[in-house]
């Protein structure tokens, strides 16, 4: 089957056909597509207060049209930056605002008028410090991105790089812009402080649905991407989404996603080809944060390399996404997995991602109806935020982080590491999953170690394994960890806070070293409080070497 935007799709429902057909019939019977297009919040809730919140979260449906009109203004802004000598831009954000910019940088080739775009969404002091050391201050634009204007991480980043410029004898005001909702404290601060510009996003768009809003399009424009083509693809998909009936692209996919969960296949395994790997990460947040609540949800599993067919259990729905001009080296693997429900998308062009953003957003919203949940809130994300705030208050009052009881934890150098990991993983059942939660500095050695750990656990245990960096995942899969199905085991990896000199968060009584430790502790407290089986391992002063110790310990104790 083909979409007008140039994407072809192949669908094999296999033994999930019954529950997927039932989900499709529910959506058709309830006129779900029409009600979605009419922004009828009663599709998801009968409670008026919840309905009002949902109504204020559906602006993404029609955002491509006004953004196409705004695009020339963004180009004019970029041209002004280049005339003023700017060569670099950094997105300071978290969650949806950072993941879409990561997708741009990993998926698209920058245009001839591009600034070099980088993204910061880690509070690890090593990452924050290293970025500041490599940026050409005075020629770098800092984009502080926060829908609420109060998000801890981008506000800490803003204060750090603002002071870094001041310490270098430079005026930061012309180097900072805000991307936020109207009326936020960030917008007020930027106006009051004389920042270069304040970009006010439509307030009825949530973070994980914001790819085609200013949060995504300003960074895309600074990279000199083909915004009109991306938005044209989205507008074409928007027209397709208006059609009623089972062939609607969003209803078709939403029924597959929701129906698969109802049939026990809740591990949506995203097998994106290398150039689209960042799209899988973007989808992780959309799916997990939208549906992982009330004890149910879609568990997205991004896998960059495949395993033997026998590794994949009866809890898997396989989704393969590729570009048409990439080698078709995964078709034989998908064929070998006959018996598992499989969906394959082949995009005609990278700009067709504009349509895919909208397809998956609408499909996720409809899957939420199938599962009986509100896909536009994130109650357990706030829980970890509150815990982090409480942890930092103790630091301010007592000068130390409080201990979190209720979870086994030890150092990677401990001789008990292997036996403790073995005992913690013993008895893991089919249909479970393991979540690797890495509060570590991202970089090649850590990336490779985490990838190896994910594959080792997957292949030896024959269960789905997810992996994510903290605090990034707190704004995405973290919702699912606490609110989703109680089928996970959670491995928290941290680095020694004292491995480097404390990096102050200006205006705060704590350092970035403490902040990331508090975020890990707050997340741990939330998991323990919900009875989730979690274990912590401190990798010490060299996270790459610590990961190797964990890998070796697991190789020794897990069956081959």
CA torsion through residues 381, 255, 295, 318, sign: negative
Task: Name 362's Cβ contacts closer than 8 Å, sequence gap at least 6.
Answer: 36, 61, 241, 249, 250, 254
Tens-digit pLDDT string for the chain (560 aa):
666 567 888 999 999 999 999 999 999 999 999 999 999 999 999 999 999 999 999 999 999 999 999 999 999 999 999 999 999 999 999 999 999 999 999 999 999 999 999 999 999 999 999 999 999 999 999 999 999 999 999 999 999 999 999 999 999 999 999 999 999 999 999 999 999 999 999 999 999 999 999 999 999 999 999 999 999 999 999 999 999 888 899 999 999 999 999 999 999 999 999 999 999 999 999 999 999 999 999 999 999 888 999 999 999 999 999 999 887 776 788 888 889 999 999 999 999 999 999 999 999 999 999 999 999 999 888 777 788 888 888 888 888 888 888 888 999 999 999 999 999 999 899 999 999 999 999 989 999 999 999 999 999 999 999 999 999 999 889 999 999 999 999 999 999 989 999 999 999 999 999 999 999 999 999 999 999 999 999 999 999 999 999 999 999 999 87
- In the block, which residue shows the tokens 């204007």? 149
Angle between helix 277-291 and 353-371 (nearest 10): 30
∠ CA 360-364-370 to the nearest 5 degrees? 145
- In the block, which residue shows the tokens 């001789």? 415
Cα distance between residue 254 and residue 300, in whole Å: 14
CB atoms within 10 A of CB 494: 23
Cα distance between residue 2 and residue 401, in whole Å: 55
Q: Which residues pair with 438 in a beta bridge?
A: 469, 493
Cα distance between residue 233 and residue 356, in whole Å: 9
Residue 102: enclosing H or E segment and its boundaries? helix 96-107
Measured CA to CA in angstroms, residue 13 lies from 21, 333, 343 at distances of 9, 16, 8
One fold for 8-32+250-371 and 379-557: yes
DSSP state of 511: B
- CATH fit for domain 379-557, picks 3.30.360.10, 3.40.47.10, 3.40.50.10490, 3.40.50.20: 3.40.50.10490
- Asked if 463 and 430 touch (Cβ cutoff 8 Å), the reply is yes
Instruction: Say which CATH topology domain 8-32+250-371 has.
Output: Rossmann fold (3.40.50)
DSSP 3-state of 9:
strand
R_g of the chain computed on alpha carbons: 23
DSSP state of 204: T
Measured CA to CA in angstroms, residue 196 lies from 46, 82, 144, 380 at distances of 44, 14, 12, 35
**The domain at 63-230 falls in which architecture?**
3-Layer(aba) Sandwich (3.40)
Tokens, residue 211: 């790819």
Q: Which residues pair with 9 in a beta bridge?
A: 345
Per domain, the residue ranges of the chain are 8-32+250-371, 63-230, 379-557
Nearest to 90 by CA among 180, 148, 154: 154
Strands 464-469 and 488-494: unpaired
Q: Which residues pair with 344 in a beta bridge?
A: 10, 320
């Amino acid at each position: 089957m083909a979409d007008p935007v140039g994407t072809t799709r192949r669908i094999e429902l296999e033994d999930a056909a019954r529950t997927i057909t039932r989900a499709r019939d529910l959506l058709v019977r309830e006129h779900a597509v029409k009600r979605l297009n009419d922004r009828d919040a009663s599709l998801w809730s009968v409670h008026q207060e919840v309905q009002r919140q949902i109504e204020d979260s559906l602006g993404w449906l029609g955002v491509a049209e006004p953004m196409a009109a705004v695009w020339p203004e963004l180009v004019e802004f970029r041209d002004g930056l280049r005339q003023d000598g700017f060569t670099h831009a950094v997105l300071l954000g978290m969650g949806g605002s950072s993941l879409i910019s990561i997708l741009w940088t990993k998926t698209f080739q920058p245009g001839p008028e591009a600034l070099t775009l980088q993204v910061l969404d880690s509070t690890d002091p090593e990452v924050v410090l290293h970025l500041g050391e490599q940026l050409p201050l005075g020629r770098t634009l800092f984009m502080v991105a926060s829908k609420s204007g109060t998000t801890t991480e981008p506000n800490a980043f803003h204060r750090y790089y603002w002071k870094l410029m001041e310490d270098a004898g430079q005026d930061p005001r012309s180097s900072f812009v805000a991307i936020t909702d109207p009326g936020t404290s960030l917008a007020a601060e930027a106006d009051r402080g004389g920042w270069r510009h304040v970009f006010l996003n439509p307030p009825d768009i949530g973070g994980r649905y914001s790819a085609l809003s200013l949060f995504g399009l300003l960074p895309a424009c600074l990279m000199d991407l083909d915004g009109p083509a991306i938005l044209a693809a989205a507008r074409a998909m928007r027209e397709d989404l208006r059609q009623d009936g089972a062939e609607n692209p969003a209803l078709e996919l939403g029924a597959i996603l929701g129906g698969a969960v109802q049939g026990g296949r809740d591990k949506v395994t995203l097998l994106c080809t290398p150039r689209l790997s960042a799209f899988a990460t973007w989808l992780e947040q959309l799916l997990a944060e939208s549906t992982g609540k009330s004890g149910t949800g879609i568990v997205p599993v991004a896998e960059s390399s495949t395993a033997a067919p026998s590794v994949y259990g009866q809890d898997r729905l396989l989704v393969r996404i590729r570009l048409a001009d990439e080698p078709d080296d995964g078709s034989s693997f998908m064929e070998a997995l006959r018996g598992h429900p499989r969906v394959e998308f082949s995009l005609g062009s990278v700009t067709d991602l504009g349509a895919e953003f909208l397809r998956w957003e609408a499909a996720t919203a409809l899957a939420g109806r199938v599962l009986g949940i509100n896909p536009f809130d994130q109650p357990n994300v706030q829980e970890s935020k509150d815990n982090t705030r409480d942890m930092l208050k103790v630091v301010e009052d007592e000068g130390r982080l409080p201990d979190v009881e209720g979870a086994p934890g030890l150092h990677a150098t401990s001789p008990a590491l292997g036996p403790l990991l073995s005992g913690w993983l013993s008895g893991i059942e089919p249909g479970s999953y393991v979540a690797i939660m890495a509060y570590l500095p991202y970089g090649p050695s850590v990336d490779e170690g985490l990838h190896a750990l994910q594959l080792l656990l997957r292949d030896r245990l024959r269960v789905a394994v997810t992996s994510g960096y903290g605090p990034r995942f707190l704004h995405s899969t973290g919702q699912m960890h606490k609110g989703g199905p109680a089928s996970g085991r959670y491995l928290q990896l941290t680095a020694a806070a004292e491995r480097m000199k404390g990096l102050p968060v200006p205006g705060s009584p704590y350092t970035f070293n403490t902040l990331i430790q508090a975020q890990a502790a707050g997340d741990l407290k939330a998991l323990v409080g919900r009875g989730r089986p979690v274990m912590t391992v401190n990798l010490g002063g060299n996270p790459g070497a610590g990961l190797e110790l964990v890998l070796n310990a697991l190789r020794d104790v897990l069956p081959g």
